[in-house]
């Protein structure tokens, strides 16, 4: 029986010829990423070594990435203290893939890992963040873990007792209509699968529409695979993966473009034709509460958000800038923009997007997790329309607020009207 991409990656990382779904294995980890919650990882890591007489040393500092993004710059004394602790730990352990609060580098962890060339196809990547699924966009097997599990990886260099997951194959064909994007595809798929439809499973993406999609769109798909419960989302590596890593991320080493076997066994196969897809909206308060835009068009919104690890890339800002250039966002609407990285922010400045957005009335914030999870800035008072990835009750810092999720095209069109608006109809 052939293997899926996830099985092949796990087999290689375990030194085995093959692994079967349900096997309990212990893959070596190629990259271990954490953000501000590194402060908790350090605490748990110290606990592992307590009483052993051994000095706490991470297994391989070159395979650890630490990126500040959730609360940058620090919003409280508590965060400032945590960041100080992490900064000192990174220096003491020799962790070089450390991105502090600075404008020449850094941003949201999931964007930084991709654009710095830390991701590779075939890697096993663990991250102390659920959206670590993002890195499957470059052909890696990447999954989220808790802080204690990260401390275990730091100690042993392996992910212990991993059960080989089954894989759902999603075949996407057809051509996207104008103003319909990968975000609409993944929202539609989550609506189909439900919030737990891929729990304990991997989603592997195939089809013409995926092959023709740039890495920026693949990152959207894999990023939000976790919203269907998936352990990982994976786009098998191809020429676009090579192009992105070589041309945009500056990677020069050999790449292992892991492919599934033709006779790989899948848990189920889902076929999607994007030619018939319209803009999608995830309505409060679950990500699988997805409707076609016609069902909610006209709903009044107060805060428009464009940014995050899901939709804060240059093509997203291009869409927003293109629609808002020379125009004004509606009175009574706040528009918050946070690019996914400083590299993107600077490119958007060079191309004039940032000025266009500010002149239209947007507030452009520094790269980081921003208001997505309600921890830092831009807390929600009323109703938000957002390109981020979650709309759980209380997500944007206020349990009385409501969050609708959409693509940047919908967000930009709606900023002008002040109500949820189909970008195909807004002039």
Partner 1 sequence: MAKVVYKTGDDVSTDTIYPGRFMATVLPIETPQFCFADDKAFNAALQRKEVAPGSVLVGGQNFGCGSSREQAASTLKGHGLVVVARGFARIFLQNSCNLGLRTIICPTIDAEAGDELELGATAVRNVTKGREFPIVPLPPARQAIIDAGGLIAYTRRRLVEPASRQARV
Q: Write out the residues near partner 1 by the rule CB under 8 A.
A: 24, 26, 36-37, 39-40, 43-44, 47-52, 54, 70-71, 76, 78-79, 82, 128-130, 132, 144-149, 151-152, 155-156, 160-163, 195-196, 199-200, 229, 231, 286, 288, 373-375, 379, 390, 392-395, 397, 399
Angle, helices 314-324/215-225, rounded to nearest 10 degrees: 110
**Cα dihedral across residues 192, 275, 299, 319: positive or negative:** positive
Instruction: Give the residue with the Cβ less far from partner 1, 194 or 417.
Output: 194
Instruction: Give the residue with the Cβ less far from partner 1, 30 or 36.
Output: 36
Rg (C-alpha) for the chain, rounded Å, is 21
C-beta of 71: minimal distance to partner 1 in Å?
A: 7
3-state secondary structure 269-332: EEEEEHHHCCCEEECCCCCCCEEEHHHCCCCECCEEEEEHHHHCCHHHHHHHHHHHCCCCCCCC
Residue carrying the six token digits 């940047």: 408
C-beta of 371: minimal distance to partner 1 in Å?
A: 10
Sheet holding 97-99: strands in order across? 97-99, 64-67, 31-34, 124-127, 141-144
C-beta of 385: minimal distance to partner 1 in Å?
A: 18
Burial 229-260 (b: 16+ CB within 10 A, else e): bbbbbbbbbeebbbebbeeebebeeebeebbb
C-beta of 35: minimal distance to partner 1 in Å?
A: 10
C-beta of 45: minimal distance to partner 1 in Å?
A: 9
Instruction: Give the residue with the Cβ less far from partner 1, 111 or 181.
Output: 111
Beta strand 162-163 pairing with 24-25: antiparallel
C-beta of 87: minimal distance to partner 1 in Å?
A: 15
C-beta of 162: minimal distance to partner 1 in Å?
A: 7
Half-sphere exposure of 142 (CA within 13 A, CB side): 37
Q: How far apart are CA 64 and CA 352, in angstroms?
A: 35
């Amino acid at each position: 029986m052939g293997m899926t991409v996830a099985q092949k990656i796990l087999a290689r990382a375990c030194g085995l010829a093959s692994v079967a779904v349900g096997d309990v294995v212990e893959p070596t980890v190629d990259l271990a990423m954490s953000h501000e919650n590194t402060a908790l990882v350090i605490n748990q890591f110290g606990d592992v070594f307590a009483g052993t007489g051994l000095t706490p040393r991470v297994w391989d500092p070159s395979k650890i990435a630490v990126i500040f993004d959730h609360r940058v710059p620090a919003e409280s004394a508590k965060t400032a203290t945590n960041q100080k602790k992490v900064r000192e730990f990174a220096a003491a352990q020799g962790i070089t893939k450390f991105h502090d609060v600075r404008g020449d580098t850094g941003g949201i962890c999931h964007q930084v890992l991709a654009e710095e060339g830390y991701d590779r196809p075939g890697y096993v990547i663990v991250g102390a963040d659920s959206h670590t699924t993002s890195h499957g966009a470059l052909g890696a097997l990447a999954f989220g873990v808790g802080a204690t599990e990260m401390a275990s990886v730091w100690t042993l260099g392996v992910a212990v007792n991993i059960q080989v997951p089954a894989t759902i194959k999603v075949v996407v064909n057809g051509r996207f209509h104008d103003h319909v994007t990968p975000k609409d595809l993944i929202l539609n798929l989550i609506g189909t699968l439900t919030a737990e439809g891929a729990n304990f499973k991997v989603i592997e993406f195939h089809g013409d529409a995926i092959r023709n999609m740039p890495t920026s769109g693949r990152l959207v798909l894999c990023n939000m695979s976790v919203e269907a419960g998936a352990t990982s989302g994976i786009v098998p590596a191809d020429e676009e993966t090579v192009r992105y890593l070589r041309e945009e991320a500056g990677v020069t080493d050999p790449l292992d473009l892991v492919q599934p076997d033709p006779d790989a066994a899948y848990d189920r196969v889902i076929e999607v034709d994007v030619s018939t897809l319209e803009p999608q909206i995830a309505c409060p308060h679950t990500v699988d509460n997805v409707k076609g835009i016609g069902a909610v068009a006209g709903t009044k919104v107060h805060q428009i958000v464009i940014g995050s690890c899901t939709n804060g890339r240059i093509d997203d800002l291009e869409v927003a800038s293109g629609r808002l250039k020379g125009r004004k966002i509606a009175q009574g609407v706040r528009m918050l923009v946070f690019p996914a990285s400083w590299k993107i922010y600077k490119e958007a400045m060079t191309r004039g997007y940032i000025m266009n957005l500010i002149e239209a009335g947007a507030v452009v914030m520094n790269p980081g997790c921003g208001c997505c999870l309600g921890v830092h800035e831009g807390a929600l008072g009323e109703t938000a329309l957002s390109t981020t990835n979650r709309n759980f009750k209380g997500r944007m810092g206020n349990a009385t607020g409501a969050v609708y999720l959409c693509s940047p095209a919908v967000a930009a069109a709606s900023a002008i009207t002040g109500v949820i608006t189909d970008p195909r109809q807004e002039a």
